[in-house]
Amino acid sequence: MFDLDCEYPNMAAAGALAARHPDLRIVLQHIGFPRRRDADYFAAWRTALTELGKHPNVFCKISGLAMTDPLFSRESLRPWAEHCLESFGPRRCVIGSNWPVDRLYSSYDSIMDCYRDYVSTLSEDEQRAVLSGNALDLYRIAP
C-alpha cells in the first residue's frame, strides 16, 4: 500500500503509476490537497480526480478539507467530498480526521459531523465501509 501526497496537476502521473502497478493499492491523501476554493480550481481538480478514480487500485482519503479551507462551512466542503464519493465510489473512499492539524479550524466533532453528513445518503453498508471498513482493510487493521 502506498499513501500518495499528490495535488491535482500530478494526478495524471499518479494514474500512470497506478496503471504500471495494478497490484499496488494507492491512497490519495487529503483529496489531493486542494489549494484554492474558486470555480476554476475546482473544475481542474474535479477533472483530474475523475480520471484518477478510473484506476481500480486507487483509493481516496476524504480528510484535511478544513486545512485547505479554514473558513469552511458544511456546504462549502460538500461538493469536494461528494465528488470523491462519485469518482471512487463508497468502496474506495475512506474518511480521515487529519487530527491534530484540523484542530486549528474547528472541533473534531464538527468536522466529523460534516463527513458523516456527506455519506448519509449511502446505504448503511456503504456508510460503514467509508467510515471504517475500508480503512480497516486498506491498513490491515484487525477489527
- pLDDT (tens digit, 0 to 9) for every residue of the chain, 143 residues total? 999 999 999 999 999 999 999 999 999 999 999 988 899 999 999 999 999 999 999 999 999 988 878 888 899 999 999 999 999 999 999 999 888 888 888 889 999 999 999 999 999 999 999 999 999 999 999 87
Terminal alpha carbon distance of the chain: 19
3-class state of residue 4 by DSSP: strand
Q: Are 67 and 30 in contact (CB under 8 A)?
A: yes
How far is it, in rounded angstroms, from Cα 2 to Cα 10?
16
Domain ranges of the chain: 2-138
- Is domain 2-138 given the CATH code 2.20.28.10 in the classification? no
- pTM of structure: 0.93
> For cell 471504517, what's the residue?
132
Contacts of 127 (CB under 8 A, 6+ apart): 90, 119, 120
Sheet containing strand 26-28, strands side by side: 2-4, 26-28, 58-62, 93-95
3-class state of residue 46 by DSSP: helix
